[in-house]
Amino acid sequence: MRSLLCVPGSKLAMLQKAFGTSADQIIIDLEDSVTPLDKPLARENVEEFFRSLKTDKRVSIRLNERTSDEIKADRTLIRALRGGPLTSVILPKIHTLDDVRFWNRYLPREFSFEVQIESAMGLVNTAAIASHSRVHSLAFGPADFMASTGMPSSAPGTPSKEVPRALEYPLSEIVIAAHAYGKLAYDGPYFEIANQVGLSDSANTARALGADGKWAIHPDQISIINELFTPSEEEIETAQRIIDAFDNSSGAANFNGLMIDEASKKVAERLLERATRIHK
């Protein structure tokens, strides 16, 4: 998945619009974007909406955190949605492997877990969290992470302008842990909706660190995210030429003045695999 659009379950019109976008995955939120008073309405909306939903998109529901009084009602909803288009549940504020084990016992086993790392404790336990067999992906939650660590912010989930790269380290740790266990890794949302330059910079940085995609919080962000997480024709052509050059050599080879080796071939092959998945 390149783009994961998160929409509040309490806003039925937004739900309907989301499935008409080019987002690869739709995340229906029961947590942060829904007020406490609207959480019952959100669950009612989701159950009603799913009765007629037909889609080829990956569909997920973000539950309330483990300590919330809402999780019993959330579980009832998830049970009611078995056998439909729901493919996974988003688990927010996962701090330890024990949190994942709790949800593994608590929720129906048909659905994989997409885990949000949103705290200092979550970050130091990322590898253990990624190791759980039911975890499909890890996603960075920048706003809550910044609150957890006391990082200064120029906007929600956005580092201060004096240190714009402050979130690269935690995102890199999440990507490394996820890929070490064969899981996907996603960057969290960029909160300045009208700032397309900032979004492009954020998405480019995430891709450079190895992230597989990025959350969106507005439909206008989707096209930029999709474009930047899709290998370009030039990248695809270069990757194929690197593979060919290495295969036609007896070891390390010269490619346009650059030394390429087995590692270079693996990077190129991974890019081609990604391009193939996207264009299926």
Higher pLDDT, 192 or 251: 192
| The predicted structure's pLDDT at residue 255 | 86
CB proximity list for 157: less than 8 A, separation 6 or greater: 142, 143, 146, 188, 189, 190, 191
Share of the chain above pLDDT 90, in %: 82
| Mean pLDDT confidence for 130-150 | 96
Cα 24 to Cα 31: distance, rounded to the nearest angstrom? 21
Q: What's the mean pLDDT in 13-26? A: 97
The DSSP bridge pattern shows strands 153-155 and 158-159 to be antiparallel
Domains of the chain, first to last:
3-228 (3.20.20.60), 233-278 (no CATH)
| pLDDT of the residue at 86 | 98
Residue 278 confidence class, pLDDT cut points 50, 70, 90: confident
pLDDT interval class at 119 (50, 70, 90): very high
Q: How deeply is 247 buried, as exposed, middle or buried, from its count of CB atoms within 10 A (0-12, 13-18, 19+)?
A: exposed
164 pLDDT above the threshold of 80: no
DSSP H helix total and E strand total for the chain:
12, 12
Mean pLDDT of the chain: 94
Confidence band, pLDDT 50/70/90 cuts, at residue 129: very high
Mean pLDDT of 77-82: 97
- Judged by average pLDDT, the poorest of 73-82, 113-122, 126-135, 250-259 is 250-259
Torsions phi, psi for 210 (to 5 deg): 105, 5
- Size of the chain, expressed as the number of residues it contains: 280
**pLDDT digits 0-9 by tens, 217-264:** 999 999 999 999 999 899 899 999 999 888 888 778 888 888 889 899
Flag whether pLDDT at 154 surpasses 80. no
**Does residue 161 have a pLDDT over 90?**
no
- For residue 106 the two structure tokens come to 């608590």
**How far is Cα 122 from Cα 184, in angstroms, rounded to an integer?**
17
Contact 9, 42 (CB under 8 A): yes
**Nearest by Cα to 5 from 21, 229, 80, 162:** 21
Closest CA to 110 of 92, 131, 83, 132: 83
- Of the listed ranges 49-53, 130-134, 182-186, 235-239, the least confidently predicted one is 235-239
Is the distance from CB of 7 to CB of 15 less than 8 angstroms?
Answer: yes
Contact predicate 25/1, CB 8 Å = yes
Query: How large a percentage of the chain has pLDDT more than 70?
Result: 99
